[in-house]
Amino acid sequence: MAIVIAHAKQQKEVQLRDEVAGIYVANLERLLRLWPNASAFEDFIAEHCDWSEHRLITWERWNYETRHPPHTIFILFTSRFL
């Protein structure tokens, strides 16, 4: 999930805040046992992780990207691709 978030932010690498936002998207129900106020946690994610997209939209983005991976062209007998 963190890779999807970093890709949506147009970053080349995954940062720690993307990992935290990915945990929020994938495991909110489990996290609410530790942090019972969901709206405060969502505010924390939006402020500190720079991610304000709704969880379900992020899940749909992840589903779409797994069903439609980007096309790459491999050049035979080399380690290069386009």
| Predicted confidence (pLDDT) per residue in 35-72, tens digit | 888 888 889 899 999 888 888 888 888 888 888 877 76
Contact 48, 40 (CB under 8 A): no
Q: Using one digit for the tens of pLDDT, what is the confidence trace for 4-37?
A: 888 889 898 999 999 999 988 888 888 888 888 8
List, in sequence order, every residue forming a beta bridge with 74; answer none if it has no partner: 81
Letter string b/e over residues 25-35, b meaning 16 or more CB atoms within 10 A of that residue's CB: bbeeeeeeeee
* Prediction pTM value: 0.69
